[in-house]
Amino acid sequence: MNLNIAKRLPRREAIKWLLAATATVSMLDWRSFGAPAASAKGYGLDQNLLETYNAGDLWPLTLTEAERRIATALCDVIIPADGKSPAASELHVVDFIDEWISAPYPEQQQHREIVLNGLAWLETESVKRFKKFFPDLSEVQQRAICDDICFAPKAAPAFRNAATFFTVFRNLTTGGFYTTPAGWKDIGYVGNVALEHFDGPPPEVLKYVGLM
Amino acid sequence: MPFIASTKTQPEYDVIVVGSGAAGGQTAYVLAAAGVKVLMLEAGRRYDPVEETPMFNTGRYAPLRGAPTPDKPFGFFDATVGGGWHVPGEPYMIKRGEAAQEWEEAKDTNPGSNQNFLWWRPRMLGGRTNHWGRFSFRMGEYDFKPRRRDGLGIDWPLDYQDLAPYYDKVESLIGVFGSNEGLENTPDSSPGVLLPPPKPRAYELLAKKACAKLGIPVIPSHVAILSRRQDHLRLPKLLHPDSPAMQKALAENMQTRLACMWATSCLRGCAIKANYQSTTVHLPPALATGNLDIITDAMVREVSVNSEGRATGVYYVDKKTRAELHVKARVVVLAASGCESARILLNSKSVHFTNGLANSCGKVGRYLMDTVGCSLGGQIPALENMPVHNEDGAMTMHMYMPWWKYKEQRAGKLDFPRGYHIEFGGGRTMPEAGSFGGMEAFTGGSYGKKFREDLRRYYGSFIYFAGRGEMIPNEQSFCEIDSDKKDVWGIPVLRFHWKWSEHEERQAAHMQKTFAEIIASMGGRVTSPPQLDGKKAINPGGSIIHEVGTTCMGDDPKNSVLNQFCQAWDVKNLFVTDGGPFVSNADKNPTLTIMANAWRATDYLIEELRKGNI
């Protein structure tokens, strides 16, 4: 079973199809449907460091439209907009995740399998519990699933693989979000600017840590 | 004289220098300053940090947001070109694990692996100086005479006092910030040599306060970064009193070097030349004298010798044309890095030298050392929710902890004989793709708005400590030629034997215990339990990239390769000026000492040339 099949069906049909599938497979065999590994080469040992690179420039991307939709929704569950800064989707974090899982390096290939399996699981689980795809669930429904998988050490055995997926996916979402100027601003990183002097911590910082 | 093609060499040079990094750069610089005609051969490509350094570029538009990969283990923007833990087509051989019987090509790209030895090699002009950490600590009096102190290891055939003036010269030339603290075996520089250290960051001050309770000194680090511009009027005259031409060349180059902007990582190199790289500090003034030719993409295979056993030049492969070429010189200096220079010597077999060149003592390749390394992280509640401020500073630590337990060691109170210093980092650094991995341990798996608040709270509250300790040379750690394996240029490759002794393993365990104590003293908690089994705590050999030894110097031709001036006992016109001559590897990072030692050896070489002795 994979999302490529589901994607070709009209939505209502796809939900039925997924429901049927989950009825026969109580717990998905995680390893049975990893996507084929990317065959591209790495960027090598002498890449131009001054160019700008965007997702898809160096190796073909992986996610289908359906997968992108789920991934985008999950990114926003992990990093929603708040009063201070935008949601993950507004910063196109899903492009980074797609670039990451499409890269031809061992760590990324491992994450590829985890993420693709995880997205498929999430869709199946959503249909099973709420008869809707994950992106179409209410916030409460989305959280109901995520609460079961957000903390691997305490996840029930049935959710262990899904929890591994969530950990990886949260790390990737965070990596994609906080490496942007908006992410820097959010977290309070104000460096990478040329200074004439380095003045050390300002008085309010010294006071804060009890050194003044 | 400039960068040239391999077809444009002079019929003969005074000196050939193999390698263009800290040792090759320093050697060629001193030779060129003295009017000696030099040819430098570099195995990698031409590289110019002014043109190629990604200053201020951010991960946002880098592949994988700049995250480390097997191609770029220190991240996409790391300056290293053409190599790393692996150089394509140029393998080296290891035995994996203690019980392994078979030699295999080293494959791991992760220094955290169980591979017993790793060998970092770039293939670029300037070598490892381009991405170097730039810590510049002097070895002290004890460090040159370790055997005299505790009966272990090997004494150098020279004293600290022999190198002290050269440390001053190197520090003045390259620019090093730091302070003089008058601590035991932690030498001061002469007045006016060091540049002022930058102010400490908040977490560095907190660590200092915590360490005071433990009796651990925390003092300004010594780093080859210009905290202010160099005095181009005073220093060139001081360094080259007899050479107006070199004064001019150096003054001009110093005027092109700007002071640090307190932003962007030095590991990328520096387009404004604010840190030391051979490519921005040694080579430009040396080239400006007109006494230096450089051929890049020139892979040296062996030193040629005549029927009298004198070196006559080197054979090398032009990597662009794959032509095998020979160049002649009166003197050959190997500065290709510890193991690579040993490889060239061992591959230079002839009727006179059946065992490899300069190897009548059988010590070429022997006494390979790295630095003992291990680390531990902690989270410090006092640093949570810190007011927003810029903590970039110099890319690296402004403070460090020099070894502080000499007295206990003398009194036999420690179960390991040699010291280590502590490097540390943390704070509000530029977020990277992996910066927030593993946060579940603190957040309980939060996501959504709670997660965002958690990250704002914890960002900047993490700190890590890394020990850098002295390894004692042993008989089980060495390199030799693997006669069955050649690289893509047809040159036989090295294979590595490696063993940490209990001295190093116990030291690593002590590091772990100390780090945990400092973290506790800061009111923090460790991010993983300290590894008190030193065998497990210690990083693999070579992974700290401080490999030295393999062409040891000494007083006796029977058991050393070189004399105290880096001159081969067996071949008077052959020198090795890189880390190879080291017979101890103090906890002080070796590059500064490589340069000071190379300068001293080169002064001797010039004198011998003038006297007609070589």
The pLDDT value recorded for residue B99 is: 75
| Test the B interface: residue of A91, A205, A206, A207 with most B CBs within 10 Å | A205
Q: Which H/E stretch holds residue A110?
A: helix A106-130
User: Count of domains in chain A?
Assistant: 1
- Chain B residues with CB-CB distance to A101 below 8 A: none
Q: What is the mean pLDDT of residues B75-95?
A: 96
pLDDT tens track for A121-154: 999 999 999 999 999 999 999 999 999 999 999 9
Contact B109, B512 (CB under 8 A): no
**What are the structure tokens assigned to B119, written together?**
């060998």
A195:B54 CB<8 A:
no
Collapsed DSSP state (helix, strand, coil) of residue A137: coil
Report ipTM (2 d.p.). 0.94
Whole-angstrom distance, CA of residue B598 vs CA of residue B595: 5
What is the model's pLDDT at position B465?
98
Q: Is residue B215 part of a domain?
A: yes
pLDDT at residue B546, as a whole number: 98
Strands (E), B335-392: 372-379
pLDDT at residue B438 is higher than 90: no
Task: For residue range B510-550, list pLDDT tens digits in order.
Answer: 999 999 999 999 999 999 999 999 999 999 999 999 999 99
CB B434 within 8 A of CB A65: no
Q: Name the region of B475 (left: φ>0; alpha: ψ -120 to 50; beta: rest).
A: alpha
Cross-sheet strand order for the sheet of B93-94:
B104-105, B93-94, B492-497, B478-486
Is the pLDDT reported for residue B12 higher than 50? yes
- Cβ atoms of B370 and B471 closer than 8 Å: yes
Containing domain of residue B407, as a range?
A: 198-220+372-469+501-537
pLDDT at A11: 52
Cα separation, A47 vs A28, in Å, equals 41
A38 located within any domain? no
Strands B323-334 and B574-576: parallel
Q: Can you give the pLDDT at residue B116?
A: 86
B329 pairs with which residues across the strands? B13
B90 to chain A nearest CA, in Å?
14
| B403 falls within a domain | yes
B613 contact partners, CB below 8 Å, separation of at least 6: B572
Identify which of B102, B51, B100, B38 has the alpha carbon closest to the alpha carbon of residue B79. Answer: B51
Interface test with B, best of A178, A190, A204 (most B CBs within 10 A): A178
Q: Say whether pLDDT at B35 is over 80.
A: yes
| Cα gap B22→B595, rounded to integer Å | 6
Check whether A12 has a pLDDT greater than 70.
Answer: no
For residue A1, what pLDDT band results from cuts at 50, 70 and 90? very low
Residue B139 has pLDDT above 80, yes or no: yes
- Domain of A178? 3-33+51-208
**Residue B265 placed within a domain:** no
Please report where in the chains the tokens 């997968």 appear, as a residue. A67
Q: Confidence class of residue B108 from pLDDT cuts 50, 70 and 90?
A: confident
Looking up tokens 């001054």 gives: A50
Q: In b/e form, how buried is each residue of B218-253, taking b as 16+ CB within 10 angstroms?
A: bbbbbbbbbbeebebeebbeebbeebebbbebbbeb
Which bin fits B472, alpha (ψ -120 to 50), beta or left (φ > 0)?
beta
Strand partners, B220: B399
Structure pTM?
0.95
Q: Do A205 and B445 touch (CB under 8 A)?
A: no
How many other CB atoms are there within 10 angstroms of residue B203's CB atom?
26
DSSP string, B417-441: SS-EEEEEEESSPPP-TTTTTTTHH
Cβ distance A45 to B84 less than 8 Å, yes or no, reads yes
| B394-422: average pLDDT | 97
The span from the CA of B240 to the CA of B257, in Å, is: 19
Pick from B260, B262, B390: which is nearest to A190 by CB?
A: B390
Phi then psi for B165, rounded to 5 degrees? -65, -30
- Other CB atoms within a 10 A radius of the CB of residue B580 amount to 32
Q: What are A156-204's pLDDT values in tens digits?
A: 999 999 999 999 999 999 999 999 999 999 999 999 999 999 999 999 9
The 10 Å CB-count burial string (b at 16+, else e) for A56-74 is eebbeebbbebbbbbbbbb
Whether residue A46 lies inside any domain: the answer is no
**How is residue B492 annotated by DSSP?**
E
- Residue A35 pLDDT exceeds 80: no
Whole-angstrom distance, CA of residue A71 vs CA of residue A15: 18
> pLDDT, tens digit, for every residue of B46-78?
999 999 999 999 999 999 999 999 999 999 999
Q: Which residues contact B614 (CB under 8 A, 6 or more apart)?
A: B330, B331, B572, B573, B605, B608
Share above pLDDT 70 across residues of chain B, in percent, rounded to a whole number: 99
Choose among B60, B71, B387: nearest Cβ to A180: B60
Q: What is the pLDDT of residue B3?
A: 94
The residue of chain A nearest to residue B446, with distances taken between CA atoms, is A150
B297 pLDDT more than 90: yes
Please state, rounded to an integer, the average pLDDT across all residues of chain B: 96
Closest by CA position to B507, among listed B463, B546, B539 = B539
Residue B491 is assigned to a structural domain of this protein: no
Closest CA in chain A for residue B57: A50
**Sorting pLDDT into bands at 50, 70 and 90, what band is A20?**
low
The confidence score (pLDDT) of residue B107 equals 83
pLDDT for residue B100: 79
Quote the number of domains for chain B.
1
Q: What is the mean pLDDT of residues B444-461?
A: 97
Phi, psi of B369 (to 5 degrees): -130, 150
| Chain B residues close to A180, C-beta within 8 Å | 60
| pLDDT (0 to 100) of residue B114 | 64
Confidence of residue B452 (pLDDT cuts 50, 70, 90): very high
In the predicted structure, residue B142 carries a pLDDT above the cut 80: yes
- Confidence check: pLDDT of A36 > 60: no
Q: Which of A42, A184, A204 sits opposite B387 (nearest CB)?
A: A204
Query: Alpha-carbon distance B85 to B522, whole Å?
Result: 36
- Helices and strands: H and E segment counts in chain A: 9, 0
Tell me the DSSP string of A36-99.
Answer: PPP------S---SSS---TTSSS-----HHHHHHHHHHHHHHS---SSS--GGGGTHHHHHHH
pLDDT tens per residue across span B241-255: 999 999 999 999 999
Rounded to an integer, what distance in angstroms lies between the CA atom of residue A190 and that of residue A184? 7
Whether residue B204 lies inside any domain: the answer is yes
| Percent of residues, chain B, with pLDDT higher than 90 | 96
Q: What mean pLDDT comes out for the span B332-344?
A: 98
- With a cut of 90, say whether residue B206 has pLDDT above it: yes
- pLDDT value at position A22? 47
State residue B112's pLDDT score. Answer: 63
Minimal Cβ distance to B432: which of A179, A181, A206 = A179
In 3D, which of A65, A60, A144, A142 has the Cα closest to residue A102?
A: A60
What pLDDT does residue A156 have? Answer: 97
More confident residue, B259 or A37: B259
* Strands B372-379 and B399-400, sheet pairing: unpaired
Q: Do A179 and B388 touch (CB under 8 A)?
A: no
